[in-house]
Structure 1
Amino acid sequence: MPQSAPLHLIPVGLGDSPANDWLPTHVQALTRELTVFIAENAKTARAFLKLIGTATPLQEITIHTLDKRGNKPGEIREWLKPALAGQAIGLVSEAGCPAVADPGAAVVALAHDMGIAVRPHVGPSSILLSLMASGLDGQQFAFHGYAPVDSAARAKQIKQWESTSQSLKQTQILIETPYRNQAMFATLLQTLKPGTRLCVARGLTTPQEWVHTASIEQWRERRTPDLDKIPCIFLFLAGR
């Protein structure tokens, strides 16, 4: 009976920058040898593999794509079966670390259920990088993903998160679709209390990287940063 092979969790870049800046060379070498991948987005997965380089022609590499609405467990199990026969599989996100705020978590769960070894590899996580650089509480924090799109609902949700932040002394972390970054920043300045500290982490690991933390009161006195269409993470911690 063949020995099973692992599911490799391979981080993808957060933007346009050389792979050597954010992915260890041994992870790049391992990735080049894989011929089966499970990806959040096939197009971005191919761009990632083209950047890294592959030992097998790209057109001969199998890329299974996760459905945003969710895949049936039986379908994912079929994708993972080659690992039981000794063929290693790579799992990649659209950006950053797979299975962290990412649909790949369902793949990892099924891999464990099937007895397939799971190997996480070092690489960029916008959530952790922004928290590291923020100067906010790194012991207690919560990642919420996206706030509501509706302006009234968004402001209400942000106030609720600020209340939680104050009561638990917990850093709140959220993201926004890049073209709505400026609107999100404006909402945060309008909604949060003057003493709450806000960090904006823009374009991490790219030439556009910029991270700054200040109180809402201080932010209101400064020029609005250029956040349009650049991936950003927003973090805030309520004052006591």
Structure 2
Amino acid sequence: MTGTLYLIPNTLGLNDDASADPLAAVIPEHVRAITAALPYFIAENAKTTRAHLKLVGLTHPLARPLQDIRIKELNVNTEARELPELLAPLAAGEDAGLISEAGVPAVADPGANLVRLAHASGIRVKPLVGPSSLLLAVMSSGLNGQSFAFNGYLPTDAGQRAKRLKTLEDRSRSERQTQLFIETPYRNGALLDAIASICHASTLVCVATDLSLSSETIRTQTAGKWKSEIAAGRTPDFHKKPTVFLLLAE
């Protein structure tokens, strides 16, 4: 009998407080209990996974010492030929957790191919509840939550980025579909500048920063309004902060 691949949610960040249970507000109790019992993790980043397990251990003692928990990395550099080895313990009957560096695994995350292989190998896949920045952004934006698409990162080249933005805006207009994308946090300002300059003044644009944290900010207004505020020097406080951008063309 094969093991179960648990899809373990991670936090989107932690607040600077001295809470005795810093995970309580974002990671359900039963998820922490399952996480604490697992002997093996497939992680986007081993260091952040160990840090997360230390926090889990504050309220749910780990089944074995942290140094004895096996963690193997699965990231953008992992080749397809390496995936079967990552699943080998599950094929032998051991349970494991797939965990992202932040948020839920296999969504905007390199874990999707491993999950697909688990299904093909007859391994049970069990998703667990936790924070997703993309869904939180859609929920809070006021844009179309019936039809939306995540587009990952846009090109960094200004010309290619402008072309991509126009394509997404046209698609949004024709399909009434909310378009989501993200950026490396230190380039948030450049991306918002491009959106405000390239998109039609009436296109709705939401900027959702530090979701689930005490510093969270979410604002939806037209591209024209954003352009005016940028010209006046009033830009969001989002430099080097994880941000989701959404647009909906009228």
Whole-angstrom distance in 2 between the partners of 1:67 and 1:206 = 25
Kept in 1: contact 2:137–2:244 (CA 8 A): yes
What is the aligned counterpart of 1:42 among 25, 28, 46? 46
Amino acid at match of 2:13: G
What is the aligned counterpart of 1:150 among 157, 178, 189? 157
Amino acid at match of 1:146: Y
Residue-by-residue CA offset, 1:154-192 (whole Å, 9 max, x unaligned)? 111101110111111110000000111111111111111
Kept in 1: contact 2:193–2:227 (CA 8 A): no
Question: What's the counterpart of residue 11 of structure 1?
Answer: 9
Q: Indicate the RMSD between aligned Cα atoms, in angstroms.
A: 1.2
What is the aligned counterpart of 1:60 among 40, 43, 68? 68
Mean CA deviation greater in 44-53 or 118-127: 44-53
Question: What's the counterpart of residue 232 of structure 1?
Answer: 243
SS at match of 1:7: strand
Which structure 2 residue ranges, 5 or more long, are not aligned?
16-21
Amino acid at match of 1:232: T
Mean CA deviation greater in 63-72 or 177-186: 63-72
Question: What's the counterpart of residue 191 of structure 1?
Answer: 198
Question: What's the counterpart of residue 24 of structure 1?
Answer: 28
Whole-angstrom distance in 1 between the partners of 2:54 and 2:40 = 15
Whole-angstrom distance in 2 between the partners of 1:51 and 1:15 = 12
What is the aligned counterpart of 1:91 among 98, 101, 117? 98
SS at match of 2:246: strand
Question: What's the counterpart of residue 79 of structure 1?
Answer: 86
Question: What's the counterpart of residue 19 of structure 2?
Answer: none
Q: What is the CA-CA distance between 1:85 and the residue it aligns to?
A: 2.8
Question: What's the counterpart of residue 18 of structure 2?
Answer: none
- Count how many residue pairs are aligned between Structure 1 and Structure 2: 236
Whole-angstrom distance in 2 between the partners of 1:29 and 1:165 = 41
Whole-angstrom distance in 1 between the partners of 2:189 and 2:47 = 27
Whole-angstrom distance in 1 between the partners of 2:44 and 2:83 = 13
Whole-angstrom distance in 2 between the partners of 1:128 and 1:69 = 26
Q: What is the CA-CA distance between 1:16 and the residue it aligns to?
A: 1.3
Whole-angstrom distance in 2 between the partners of 1:131 and 1:148 = 22
With normalisation by structure 1, the TM-score equals: 0.95
Mean CA deviation greater in 41-50 or 205-214: 41-50
With normalisation by structure 2, the TM-score equals: 0.91
Which structure 1 residue ranges, 5 or more long, are not aligned?
none
SS at match of 1:138: coil
Q: What is the CA-CA distance between 1:20 and the residue it aligns to?
A: 0.9
What is the aligned counterpart of 1:129 among 127, 133, 136? 136
Mean CA deviation greater in 181-190 or 196-205: 181-190
Q: In the alignment, does 2:166 pair up with 1:159?
A: yes
Amino acid at match of 2:117: L
SS at match of 1:200: strand
